[in-house]
Structure 1
Amino acid sequence: MKIFLLEDDFALNESIKDMLETEDFDVDSFYDGKEALNNIKNAYDLFILDIFVPNLNGILLLENIKKINPESIVIIMSANIDISTIKDAYSKGCDDYIKKPFNIQELLFKLTKFRKDSDIFKFDEDILFDKKLKKLLCKNKEIKLTKNEKNLLLLLINNRGKTVDYNLIENFIYDDEPTSLDAIRSLIKRLRKKFPKELIFNNTDEGYFIK
């Protein structure tokens, strides 16, 4: 399970990271909100965010994470016990809240309920996508994908059942670089051809989705 950790207290950050890694979690840690924002597009299973960090607070980061992947699991931690702050965090989509100071073992207990057994997404029994390795397999044979095709497929899977609009594709795949609709449609067309059957659907003039 790959974890994203944002905590500006160096000692606490290191303690959490060390403890989680001894439990076989894969952890990337950050100390600065702006640096963290630049890395949220990577394939993380769970985010642990302190609220009050330099340059960009955890609530704003939470909003950005949920825009990219509404199903992302986010745990907010803070010494702030103001009920309005806690309410704001939950209204923005956080999945759990832990008050500082806390026993690091308490955080581990919370993580166990979110731990996933597998990073494999199954379209059906023959077609699988490994989200961690970004590999598409059909009948146990890898189907080669470009970097953009991998990221697009991951974006669609993370938002399965929901339409992914052109703006989100532009933001996630092209890092907000201006991109034509024709370029996005061409990317979708190439990715569709990699599948032995139709698995990517479109809502006219809105975007794309998988079921």
Structure 2
Amino acid sequence: MKKSVLIIDDEEKISRLLQLELSHEGYAVEIAQTGKEGLEKALAHTWDIIILDVMLPELNGVEVLKQIRKVDNHTPVIMVTARNTTTDKVSGLDGGANDYITKPFEIEELLARMRASMRHQLESRATSAQEEDNPPYLQVDSLMLEPKTRSVMREGKRIELTPKEFDLLHYLMEHKNQVLQRDQLIQDVWGFDFVGDTNVVDVYIRYVRKKVDHGYKKKLIKTVRGVGYCIREEDH
């Protein structure tokens, strides 16, 4: 059975070209040319992956993504942006995107990102299916994280995290006392199959550290110069 792809892009030439290329690769492709039409199609059917442009008429791509994620946390979404800035990328990822790609791009790169995003989603679902066999919470010192409820607390105080901040902290705590390289974090937390923009990792570590460590005497998230990051209860 063909994998289904929804392309939401108001540039007709680009969307038609993508439709031809993806159809040639064996995908079943549909197109929407406005944010409103794209949201309606996204919610009306089940898709294997969605390609979503940021700049759209009627409803921009970031808002479309937010509305999708209110009811669907599973379908992989690749954001398409014309601006290659860390802020734009973080904004899309924070809204629930699985990946991003900057215009102009080669079809081979898009295909690789699509495969990586869909594979990562399958792995995530397999991990979720095994949750009942795992401990109900993770703990590092006074920091506690409950995967099922996606809640985080430290010294009894609730810590509010965005979805991607939670995923990053979850991964750090699953591998506590291990030094994790930036490339490893990008691949396993964001699901990229290649060495991506490691600035994204640094930005999110800064966000998480501010929420988890700020105001506490004992700092849990450590920077290992020239290597990456880890979370541990005390310096070794």
Quote the offset at 1:114 in angstroms: 3.4
Q: Distance in 1 between matches of 2:58 and 2:20?
A: 25
Quote the offset at 1:81 in angstroms: 2.1
Change (3 A) 1:115 1:84: closer
User: Of 45, 50, 67, which residue of structure 2 is paired with 1:47?
Assistant: 50
Q: In structure 2, the residue corresponding to 1:52 is in which secondary structure?
A: coil
Do residues 80 (structure 1) and 83 (structure 2) align?
yes
More helix by share: 2
Q: Distance in 2 between matches of 1:22 and 1:114?
A: 20
Contact 2:78–2:114, Cα closer than 8 Å, also in 1: no
Contact 2:98–2:117, Cα closer than 8 Å, also in 1: no
Quote the offset at 1:115 in angstroms: 4.2
Contact 1:65–1:72, Cα closer than 8 Å, also in 2: no
Q: Distance in 1 between matches of 2:47 and 2:73?
A: 13
Contact 1:51–1:59, Cα closer than 8 Å, also in 2: yes
User: Of 72, 88, 92, which residue of structure 2 is paired with 1:89?
Assistant: 92
Unaligned runs of 5+ in 2: 126-147, 150-236
User: Of 19, 28, 46, which residue of structure 1 is paired with 2:21?
Assistant: 19
Tell me how large the CA RMSD over aligned residues is.
2.5
Quote the offset at 1:71 in angstroms: 1.4
State the identity as a percent: 28
Q: Distance in 2 between matches of 1:84 and 1:69?
A: 24
Contact 2:35–2:58, Cα closer than 8 Å, also in 1: yes
Quote the offset at 1:35 in angstroms: 1.0
Q: Distance in 1 between matches of 2:117 and 2:39?
A: 22
Q: In structure 2, the residue corresponding to 1:114 is in which secondary structure?
A: helix
Q: Distance in 2 between matches of 1:84 and 1:115?
A: 25
Q: Distance in 1 between matches of 2:40 and 2:115?
A: 27
Quote the offset at 1:85 in angstroms: 1.8
Specify the code of the residue in structure 2 equivalent to 1:83: T
User: Of 44, 55, 70, which residue of structure 2 is paired with 1:67?
Assistant: 70
Where does residue 34 of structure 2 map in the other structure?
A: 32
Q: Distance in 1 between matches of 2:60 and 2:86?
A: 17
Runs ≥4 residues deviating over 4 A:
none
Task: Give the structure-1-normalised TM-score.
Answer: 0.53
Where does residue 60 of structure 2 map in the other structure?
A: 57
Quote the offset at 1:68 in angstroms: 1.2
Q: Distance in 2 between matches of 1:115 and 1:80?
A: 24
Cα distance per residue 1:31-90 (max 9 Å; x no partner): 111111221111111111000011111101111111111112110011122322211111
Unaligned runs of 5+ in 1: 122-160, 163-211
Specify the code of the residue in structure 1 equivalent to 2:40: N
Number of residue pairs matched by the alignment: 123
Specify the code of the residue in structure 1 equivalent to 2:62: I
Task: Give the structure-2-normalised TM-score.
Answer: 0.48
